[in-house]
Structure 1
Amino acid sequence: MISLAVDWLMLFSCTLTDMAVHLGFLLILNGLIGIHSITAVSKVSVRAGDSITIPCLYGSQYRNHVKYLCKGYYWSFCSEVVKTNQPHSSGKFSISDDKTQRIFNVTIKALTNDDTDYWCAVEINQGGDIKKYFHLSVARGTPSLYVDHQEMTGFNGDSVTISCKYTTAGEMKWCRLGGNCVTGSSGSIDGTTVTINSSVRNVFIVTMSGLTTQSSGWYLCVKGDFQMPVHVTVNDTPTTTSLATRRHFTTLSPPAGPVNLTSVSPDETLNSSVSVKLMSYIIPLSVLIFIVMMTLFIWFLCKRNKHTEEESSATATAEEVLTYTTVKHERKLDQAEAEVTYSNVKYTKKPSHKRSVAKSDEEVTYSSVVTTKQQPVQRF
């Protein structure tokens, strides 16, 4: 009896050992084939009528597989709305696959209350598709967690700032999709320094400094149960500046020794050609403007001189034609009103009285001679 119990115990132990081995093998196999290799957001708050882009990270073994978005709460009953081999099947949905970053992005436009339950999925040939569920919380007012722009751009060595705005409670974090997170006021993600400033009410500001091209990718604002995906693109620092801001001042002097010829960079050649083309337009335009201004000035002077000459000619003609005469009428005095002249006449010889003929009416002088009898002087 005891030996039978020992046999059963040994058999049971072997069975448990075999089950553990098989379970471990299954877990390893699941990891190898990527059963849980899709990484995406779990809950996103959005405003009704807006659009949202959701990134879905997949394993490298699915780089050449077909990806798609499935709509519905239950996986067994969800319907495919857009696929990478049919990217333009609907105007409401769009999908793109970045095989280098191993991320396919799905965009949903004109969000409504019906847009709540979706699955990121990858087709598996001769097997079950892998998938990841995410929920969209569509709000009529302000979302629980949102950003002004989902796409941010920076330059190599510079910094970029993202404002994560929220109306919900919970722990705040800044995470890289499929990577680690920064939960405190500072930290680093893949060599990029991250600082989080939460001094402003209902906003935590994330600053990523010391950017590199490897910093490009999808990140997540996290507040409580909500995540908001933000894509950061890091470009190489421009090697040339704009023509308007770059100016060279050169002083020429006779060379003290042999002249060395140096090659001109394509950027300098391009700037020089742009400058020459610009001058070829500016100079003729300046000359044309000058000619037009001079023509208008000469025309104005000619018109003014002509007007002055016309006024002078009219004045001279009027002075030659018109003769101004003043006529003063004098009334001829009556004889009674004529001036009386009393004279003493001594008779020596009686002269003959002759009236002189007046030359003209203008020279007539009227005279009246009155003779009076001289009274004798009485002596006493």
Structure 2
Amino acid sequence: MLLVRALLLLWLPGCFTLTDSPEVRSPGRVSGPIGGSLTVRCGYDCGWKTDVKWWCRGAKWNSCRIMVKTTGSEDEQTSDRVSIKDSHRGCTITVIMDNLRAEDADIYWCGIEKAGTDLGAHVVMTINKDVSPPRGPEDVRVPVGGSLTVTCQYDPGWERNGKWWCRGANWRSSNIIVRTPGSKRNNEQMSIRDSPEKRAFTVTMDNVTERDADTYWCGIARAGDDFGARVRLDTFTDISSPKAVNGIEGQSLTVQCRYEQHYRANEKSWCRGAPWGNCQPVVSTGDHKNKGRNGKVSISDCPDNGTFMVTMENLSTSDTDTYWCRIGAEKVVLGFPVTVDVSRATTTMTTVTNPEMQSATNSSQKSQVSQNNSSAGFDLSRLELLLPLVFGVLLVVLVGVSILAWRMVRRQREASGKSATPSPTDEGLELPTTEVCYADLSIHHWINDDTGRTTGTPAPLARPRSAHQFVEYATLGSAKTEDVTCVTYSTVRRPRPAENPIYGNVELPCSPRRNNRKEAK
């Protein structure tokens, strides 16, 4: 009835008159969904910036009931379900009414308070009972281990209402998993974010498993019953991508991402950032294109075999991060995480003193750095396996050399023991084989007379003259076994003082041993 009364005031000219002040401008007519919210903006001449602004309800603005007003500043003021804010820079008044009801349909006024008669402009508000629920994808398919982004859109009037995401066949009896307002990530696996300026909210699910396949709802909270849109989620394992790839600084790497054929027409992209909902696009194929390039990163789609390739050139350590193979750009976006790790190029440093060798070493190092990914990246695990083997071989060789040296020393000792020279003995003595016997030492003296001639007569031992005595040495060595006796003589003669010494060795052949000493003589 209030709406009919307001329309009659406009449609029956001559009966009632709604006169707006030229200093204030309003949209004239507005409409909002029942249970939703409505935003009304009115402009005014900038000469009224510091004056109090108000929002009132009633057919005549000079007698309408003021619901909320400002204090002359830009601070927002709220009363019940209505708020007002004045913008001095834009010379506009913004009024927001939340949780609209059917009885809110009426005539309202944007006004400016001043001495005498206030200024105002009317606004006819209608309430739409036939509201549209949010709109989202009905069916989505997500790879196991990947991530999902679902965007649900809504009509004007629901910007200030809460949004939620729940799971279950009937959303009225299901538990809400995440909702707004609140933090962007309210759950370890899921998050929700509202974008009022786009009239859409986004739900993100990370690390999807087969157990996540179910019926979900994206909904809007309002007075009375909420309403939502159903989204059926299915998982599959047909999409594949390496979970981690390694690269060398200064070189290139390529990542292959696979997808199902019914995604062949969707946009393919490569984005960066560990949080799936916040990853920044790096390069994409664009609309109806199979290739794209952005700086040192390129992408190429092959719809015939259901793959797209991403190539990163001239790698640096700052490229280390989590990336995503991504399919889609609007309502449904699928993603699969790929960890990229870039390490520094390894070089072998050798210290040399020869300049030519130093130059050759530097050239070798430059050549090693410029090799491709497969030859430059040395596998340290192979070195860990080779080192114990090398040490084992060296230990075996060392033990073998030690044993060989010990045997050689032992043989030398045995040989020296066997070849020891037998001790001297008299001709007529019979001694054990291992004993040594020395012969008597005979000293013969030759004495020079006064004429300078030497006599052959030995002088007595008691009266030697050392200056003219000459000695003859004789040694006798014999070795006996059970049946054989061997004799060796060694003599040194000094016949005369002026003559040189005479050396002589006499070896008697071994003869059979006899029992009678006389026969030996």
Same fold (TM over 0.5): no
Q: TM-score, normalised by structure 2?
A: 0.30
Question: Using CA pairs below 8 Å that are at least 6 residues apart, which structure has the higher relative contact order?
Answer: 1
TM-score, scaled to structure 1: 0.39
Greater helix share, 1 or 2?
A: 1
